[in-house]
Amino acid sequence: MKIVEKTVVSLKYKLSNHKTGEQIEVTDETNPLVFLYGVGMLIPEFEQNLHGKATDETFSFAIQAANAYGEVDAQNVATIPTNIFHDENGVFDAAMFQVGAMIPMSDNEGNHLSGKILSITDENVQMDFNHPLAGTDLHFEGSILEVRAATQEELDHGHVHGAHGHQH
How many chain residues bind Zn ion (CB under 5 A)?
2
Can you say whether the dihedral through the CA atoms of 33, 37, 41, 44 is positive or negative?
positive
Measured CA to CA, the distance from residue 91 to residue 84 in angstroms comes to 10
5-24: which residues touch Zn ion (CB under 5 A)?
none
* 157 part of the interface to Zn ion, by CB under 5 A: yes
* 164 part of the interface to Zn ion, by CB under 5 A: no
CB of 130 vs Zn ion, minimal distance in Å: 32
| SS3 call for 126 | strand
Do residues 152 and 107 make contact, with C-beta atoms less than 8 angstroms apart?
Answer: no
* 162 part of the interface to Zn ion, by CB under 5 A: no
CB of 153 vs Zn ion, minimal distance in Å: 7
Between the two ends of the chain, the Cα-to-Cα distance in Å is 27
Do residues 139 and 76 make contact, with C-beta atoms less than 8 angstroms apart?
Answer: no
> Which range, of 25-33, 89-97, 135-143, 153-161, touches Zn ion by CB under 5 A?
153-161
* Amino acid in position 44: P
Give me the 99-138 binding string for Zn ion, x by CB under 5 A, dash otherwise: ----------------------------------------
- Give the CB-nearest residue to Zn ion: 157
Measured CA to CA, the distance from residue 93 to residue 126 in angstroms comes to 16
Measured CA to CA, the distance from residue 51 to residue 144 in angstroms comes to 11
CB of 166 vs Zn ion, minimal distance in Å: 5
Work out which of 2, 19, 86, 166 binds Zn ion, going by CB under 5 A: 166
> Which range, of 42-50, 75-83, 98-106, 154-162, touches Zn ion by CB under 5 A?
154-162
Binding region for Zn ion (CB under 5 A): 157, 166
